[in-house]
């Protein structure tokens, strides 16, 4: 489906001026929802990483964007913002970055988007830093298919589902500075917080007798691709873990951690951010 702002145009169908028979443009509605998802993801990236991998690297008051989505990917291109970006879609949430392209050379928005589609559709060779087999990694299980290649053993080829996109051009879209993610700025407590706290209590355990562990949880949204948790023992920061939610929003797994001794830079960067957005703590 291909729909423009001023006139609804669907290839293979009729051209209908908006407003006739009270017709509502579903392309516009879906496109706006997709852009809102991307912008909220960029707010989280900006909060945790100090920058984004998407179009919001160069925010401006207004921009024209070509937003696109299918079952596995969601993204947008914009000549005004000077880049294209796409993320994996894991059920109702956005997963890891699939691809980003900056400094667009095209002068036509549709050409820029179609060129980005071609790049998304090309197999990508990813160098893995560990020796685990790609089929047990689970990293690309929804946004693409991981396939081993014979040599060298540390490389995998990623083939993404970059076909069957729906797209929509939105003109005059507002792109102000990102600001805080909505759950942090508005202090919104997620409905699954109780389940998350119980899961933490069952997963994380106190140290030897006489020690007191605290698991500080920042504000998060159930749709977030991961949640950082600060771990303190006897009031001293021990590590930061990142937790990956399941598709149902009621189950999680520990994706990894940053140790205060082995990864001091990461811990020093994340600790003040977690404390600034602290929602609650679990004590053991």
Rounded to two decimals, the pTM is 0.74
In contact, 83 and 56? CB cutoff 8 Å: no
Which pair of structure tokens corresponds to residue 251?
């189950």
pLDDT at 9: 30
Q: Is 176 helix (H, G, I), strand (E, B) or coil?
A: coil
pLDDT at 227: 93
In contact, 227 and 220? CB cutoff 8 Å: yes
Q: List all residues 6 or more positions away from 195 whose beta carbon is below 8 Å from its beta carbon.
A: 250
Q: How far is CA 119 from CA 105, 124, 266, in A?
A: 14, 9, 32
pLDDT at 240: 94
Dist. CA 157–CA 153, nearest whole Å: 11
10 by Cβ neighbours in 10 Å (0-12 / 13-18 / 19+) ranks as middle
Which pair of structure tokens corresponds to residue 244?
């990956």
Q: List all residues 6 or more positions away from 60 whose beta carbon is below 8 Å from its beta carbon.
A: 80, 81, 175
Please give the sequence-ordered ranges of beta strands (E in DSSP) within 70-183, or none if there are none: 73-78, 83-90, 93-102, 124-127, 144-148, 155-160, 166-175
Helix, strand, coil tally for the chain in percent (to 5): 25, 35, 40
pLDDT at 56: 55
pLDDT at 184: 94
Hey, which residues does 280 pair with through a beta bridge? Answer: 217
- Series of mean pLDDT values for 10-residue runs along the chain (284 residues): 34 35 63 89 88 66 88 89 86 80 80 88 66 38 41 62 84 85 93 91 74 91 87 90 79 86 91 96 86
Dist. CA 158–CA 28, nearest whole Å: 31
In contact, 31 and 195? CB cutoff 8 Å: no
Continuous segment of H or E residues that includes residue 113:
helix 109-121
Which pair of structure tokens corresponds to residue 97?
């970055």
Q: How far is CA 141 from CA 37, 47, 162, in A?
A: 21, 27, 15
């Amino acid at each position: 489906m291909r729909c423009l702002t001023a006139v609804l145009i669907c290839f293979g169908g009729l051209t209908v001026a908006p407003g006739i028979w009270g017709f509502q443009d579903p392309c516009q509605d879906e496109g706006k929802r997709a852009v809102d998802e991307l912008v909220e993801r960029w707010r989280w990236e900006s909060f945790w990483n100090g920058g984004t991998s998407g179009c919001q690297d160069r925010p401006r008051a207004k921009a024209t964007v070509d937003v696109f989505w299918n079952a596995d990917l969601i993204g947008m291109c914009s000549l005004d913002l000077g880049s294209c970006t796409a993320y994996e879609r894991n059920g109702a949430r956005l997963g890891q970055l699939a691809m980003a392209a900056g400094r667009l050379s095209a002068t036509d928005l549709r050409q820029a988007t179609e060129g980005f589609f071609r790049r998304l559709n090309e197999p990508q060779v990813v160098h893995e830093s560990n020796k685990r087999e790609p089929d047990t990694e689970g990293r690309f299980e929804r946004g693409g298919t991981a396939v081993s290649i014979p040599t060298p053993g540390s490389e995998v080829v990623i083939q993404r589902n970059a076909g069957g996109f729906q797209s929509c051009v939105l003109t005059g879209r507002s792109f102000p500075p990102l600001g805080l993610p909505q759950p942090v700025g508005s202090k919104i407590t997620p409905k699954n917080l109780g389940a998350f706290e119980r899961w933490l209590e069952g997963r994380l355990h106190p140290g030897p007798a006489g020690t007191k562990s605290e698991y500080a949880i920042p504000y998060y949204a159930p749709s977030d691709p991961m949640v950082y948790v600060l771990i303190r023992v006897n009031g001293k920061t021990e590590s930061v873990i990142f937790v990956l939610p399941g598709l149902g929003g009621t189950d999680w797994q520990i994706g990894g951690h940053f140790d205060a001794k082995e990864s001091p830079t990461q811990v020093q960067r994340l600790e003040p951010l977690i404390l600034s957005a602290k929602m609650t703590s679990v004590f053991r």
